Structure 1
Amino acid sequence: MSATAAARQPFAPNWAARAGFLALALYAFFAMGQLDITWARFATGLGEGGRFLARMWPPNFTRWELLVEGLIESIQIAILSSALGIVLSLPLGLMAARNLSPAVVNIPTRAFIALCRSLHYVIVAILFVKAIGFGALAGVAALTIASMGFIAKLFAEAIEEISMKQVEAIRATGAGLGAVLLYGVLPQVASRFTGFCLYQLDSNLRNSTLVGIVGAGGIGGTLFAAFKRFDYDFVCAILIAIIALIFLAEVVSGRIRAAMR
């Protein structure tokens, strides 16, 4: 076979990709050794996990008042933080869009949005717990920061993809900035922005159950306290309630999205 025919061979082996996969596999084995990840430890963990699950069953719902109280607080934290994050994200997204705002405005705004997204919400919750004390206020503040970082970034990117023809047409009528945003920008991104908001509400419902573990209110605090008391049957009841809450939120948000189509 000539060199030209070999060069035209279909499905020729990609030696660079194979070398990359080999290097990745070798590094994975090296990292497992460094982290003391062994099959013996995994097998031991399976046995311990089985005994742990046996202690969790059957779930204990006798303290349902405490369970409902924690769930309601988590729902309130999620709704409040989502609402505040959405309201604050609207101006941030408009200011961060490069096609609407000058560089002197969008660059600092984008830096602030990146700052909101740079730390995990649990770390932010710990900071707020240290600053303002234990309770739901710290959870609302932490999830509001997280919501701002997520929604404002996606909102700005959605605005940058709009057609500027509608914006220029409204500007040509002599309309002010408010009218341009209301009639030229928001109609083009309204459906996507609604989807972002619904997704963030779903996310905050899950996250609100976690920030309570660090003292920021919600069902997470009840769950952590049950773990510390080795009250594993009540832990199982809390986990079932959290899963049911997330499933219910998925159903509701799915119906809202379907109604908006």
Structure 2
Amino acid sequence: MAGINTPQNREKPFKQNWFVTATWLLVICYVLYSFNAMGLSWERFNEGLGHASNLLGRMVPPNFSRWSLLMSGLIESLEIAIISSICGIFISLFLGLFAARNMMPSWVSTPVRTLIALCRTFHPVIIAILFVKSVGFGALAGILTLVVASIGFIAKLFAEAIEEISLKQVEAIRATGAGFTSIILFSVMPQVFSRFIGFSTYQLDSNLRNSTMVGIVGAGGLGGTLFSAFQRFDYDFVAAILIVIIALIMFGEFLSNIVRRIFR
């Protein structure tokens, strides 16, 4: 009978998708080829573990005797992170607004979006190298680098947050005859302010990490001290610097949690 669900007319609940299967096979083959092309092997990994154990042995115990050099690098990293975050957040407020396609015409939003995309195109280390070549070694290169990185992150997310707002509040404020500034302050910002605070605290935390990294290429901060210690094979001092960097990141995480609770 036609209504009986026989094995002949019963369809498989999970059909074989040959395209997905072939794709997975290609991925597996490419990964295996990449391992072979780069010379990755278990012997090399095992040898690396031996070198790592020797390195860790030379890093213990940490040497905090040069604490003045350590603190000067830490203070400079903090200054770089805070100044670049404040400048980057302030600039991103305007760029994010100008990049929002529901608030600005395309001839305004498109160039601004292009600028924001350019700011996040390169890794901060590459940008730091360019600024070191332009303005010289020191904290200024690090500040400019992290300002660019902040714009690339915050302005993009801020623009996307504005594009997701409810336009009913905008129309209500506009119906009262309010100007553009009043519309932004009383209809747009209240809807995105908490998210903007979240973006900003995350970027401050990111800048605290990056401020120690860009110093490796001469852009100031604790990274320069770390790089010099590595060059001198001064591994016990390297361990002390790494502990300070971890403490700095934990402090940034603690500060971010406090800010989120206040503006939640």
- Class of the TM-score when normalised by the shorter of the 2 chains: over 0.9
TM-score (ref. length: structure 1): 0.96
Q: Which runs of 4+ in 1 moved over 6 A?
A: none
Q: Would the alpha carbon gap of residues 19 and 3 (structure 1) be closer, same or farther in structure 2, given more than 3 Å must change?
A: farther
Q: Which residue of 1 aligns with 2:171?
A: 168
Letter in 2 for 1:76: E
Matched, 1:72 2:72: no
Q: Which residue of 1 aligns with 2:258?
A: 255
Matched, 1:198 2:201: yes
Q: CA deviation at 1:3?
A: 4.9
Q: Distance in 2 between matches of 1:4 and 1:65?
A: 81
Q: Distance in 2 between matches of 1:243 and 1:210?
A: 13
Q: CA deviation at 1:25?
A: 1.2
| 1:219 pairs with one of 215, 219, 222 | 222
TM-score (ref. length: structure 2): 0.95
8 Å CA contact 2:197, 2:263 repeated in 1: no
Instruction: Give the CA RMSD over aligned residues.
Output: 1.1
Matched, 1:124 2:123: no
Q: Distance in 1 between matches of 2:49 and 2:8?
A: 55
| 2:9 pairs with one of 4, 16, 20 | 4
**1:22-171 to 2 correspondence within 5 Å?**
22-171=25-174
Runs of 5+ unmatched residues, structure 1? none
SS at match of 1:30: helix
Q: CA deviation at 1:39?
A: 1.3
Q: Which residue of 1 aligns with 2:232?
A: 229
SS at match of 1:143: helix
Letter in 2 for 1:106: S
Q: Which residue of 1 aligns with 2:213?
A: 210
Q: CA deviation at 1:155?
A: 0.3
Letter in 1 for 2:101: R
Q: CA deviation at 1:11?
A: 3.5
8 Å CA contact 2:216, 2:224 repeated in 1: yes
How many residues matched? 259
Q: Distance in 1 between matches of 2:8 and 2:171?
A: 58
| Identical-residue share of aligned pairs (%) | 60
Q: CA deviation at 1:100?
A: 0.3
Q: CA deviation at 1:80?
A: 0.5
Letter in 2 for 1:154: L
Most deviating of 251-260 and 24-33: 251-260
Runs of 5+ unmatched residues, structure 2? 1-5
Letter in 1 for 2:56: L
SS at match of 2:9: helix
Most deviating of 156-165 and 250-259: 250-259
Deviations 1:189-210 (A, max 9, x none): 0000000000000000000000
SS at match of 1:134: coil
Q: CA deviation at 1:260?
A: 2.1
Deviations 1:4-23 (A, max 9, x none): 31x2x224444433332222
